[in-house]
Amino acid sequence: MPQFNEDRRRAALNDEVHARPFASVAAPLAASHLAVLWGEGGAEADCRHLAQLCRAAGLPPPPQEAGHFAGEFGAFALRWERHSEFSSYTFLRPDAAGEPFARGAAAIDKVPQDWLAALPGSVLVAAHFVLLRAEPGAGDAALLARALVPDTTAGSRIAGGGALAWTDFRLHEDGFGRILARDIRLTPRQAGRMMQRLYEIETYRMMALLALPVAREAAPAITRIGDELARLTQSLTGIAGLDDERRLLDRLVALSAEAERIAAATQYRFGAGRAYYALVRRRIEELREERIEGLQTIAEFMDRRLAPAMRTCESVGERLEAISARLARVSALLRARVEVALEAQNRDLLASMDRRARLQLRLQQTVEGLSVAAITYYVVGLVAYAAKAAHGLGLRLDPELAAGAAVLPVAALAWWAIKRIRRGLRRD
């Protein structure tokens, strides 16, 4: 046997494709199916509740991380599966005889009722399934009239003519839907796959429709945001000043925040609805339906009833995306307008600063001229005082002549010194 370093996830990933095997069933069979949305405890609470049923029957409970469980409980068999946001329970009662869907004949009637009442979460799907043997000359029309509502009954030959299946997508007086099938030439594994697909069509149909109330709730808010955005867009051309632009921008920010809140509240549900709807269509394709004269097929029923609901959800999602894009464009236009206005203000401010700089330069030049005159006046005064002192000491020096002769040299020297200082400051 070759030796190699095996990835620790290899076995789990390989077993994933075998995680939910189909049951092997045969007619006559009665089954009941529940899809339970998780409550506050999530999947862990659901798994703990299943463990209580197993321990009461003396069976080993599944591990907490299990995604699938199958067990025999005497009067019934149970198949449990964990999904992304719900758990499904399928209770099987083989060799069921008597009138289909009669009181007390359902598989779930054999399950402890106190355990059912304590199921964590909320039941979204509940349906009975009855599989009958093929009987030549069987009066299926009379049976369907007793078991299903004729106005909404859909049915077809499935699995290449190996079986017949009917359902009316109604909740009957016991709160359960009903699916009736007749086995013509199916193997037990084929019958199990057929039952699983029919249950999954019903389950995923209801899970997909969870997006419809969300869409109906979000639609008025999206319409209101769109109407207000149209009014704000029209008011762009009538903005008087920067204050109006700021108020308009604040309102656009508020609308964008509301649109993002709606998107955050609906994004997951709309995405899940699309995924569940795709699963419904895939399971219908896998049935390989053939028409029964006078009945609509399951695919036709879904196209007429489920598809419009899903298109409504898609439309609301698309409208929300379009509103968000429009908000982004209008906000960008308004920001561009504000930026242009700010640039104009900056340009005027720079021009004003330039004018002030030129005035300061002229003032500086004037001050420099005055400074030269003041320095010259004071220095010449000092020269005059020095000349008077020298004359007093007996030197032949006329103070006034000395002061007059010093004016030009002192003025030139003061002017040169100030220019040199200013040149040094410019270099710095």
In the chain, the percentage of residues whose pLDDT exceeds 70 is 90
Instruction: List, in sequence order, every beta strand (DSSP E) within 211-255.
Output: none
Whole-angstrom distance, CA of residue 197 vs CA of residue 191? 10
Indicate the domain borders of the chain: 14-187, 211-348, 360-427
Residue 2 has pLDDT above 70, yes or no: no
- Mapped onto helix, strand or coil, the DSSP state of residue 105 is coil
Q: Between 161 and 384, name the one with better pLDDT.
A: 161
**pLDDT score for 8:** 76
Q: Higher confidence at residue 127 or residue 421?
A: 127
- 378: tokens are 């004071």
What rounded mean pLDDT belongs to the chain?
Answer: 86
Calculate the alpha carbon distances from 413 to 333, 386, 426 in Å.
63, 19, 20
One-character DSSP codes across 389-420: HHHHTT----HHHHHHHHHHHHHHHHHHHHHH
pLDDT band at 428; cut points 50, 70, 90 = low
Q: How many CB atoms lie within 10 A of CB 176?
A: 20
Tokens at residue 231, please?
């009014």
Question: Would you state the pLDDT for residue 95?
Answer: 82
pLDDT of residue 414: 73
**Helices and strands (DSSP H and E) totals, the chain:** 9, 9
**Mind listing the pLDDT tens digit for each residue in 78-133?**
999 999 999 999 999 988 778 889 888 899 999 999 999 999 999 999 999 999 98
Q: How far apart are CA 108 and CA 128, in angstroms?
A: 9
Are residues 46 and 87 in contact, defined by beta-carbon separation less than 8 angstroms? Answer: yes
Q: What is the spatial distance between Cα 424 and Cα 427, in angstroms, rounded to a whole number?
A: 5
pLDDT in tens, 368-392: 666 777 777 777 777 777 777 777 7
When pLDDT is cut at 50, 70 and 90, the band that residue 404 belongs to is confident
Whether residue 71 has pLDDT greater than 90: yes
Which pLDDT does position 258 carry in this prediction? 93
Q: Which of 229-238, 267-276, 344-353 has the highest mean pLDDT?
A: 267-276
Pairing label, strands 68-72, 77-82 = antiparallel
Does residue 353 or residue 298 have the better pLDDT?
Answer: 298
Q: What is the pLDDT of residue 362?
A: 73
- The tokens for 205 are 């149909």
Percent of the chain with pLDDT over 90: 52
Query: Side by side, which strands form the sheet with 177-183?
Result: 68-72, 77-82, 86-94, 29-37, 122-133, 177-183, 163-167, 154-158, 290-291
Of the candidate ranges 269-278, 343-352, 388-397, the one whose mean pLDDT is the lowest: 388-397
Strand partners, 290: 157
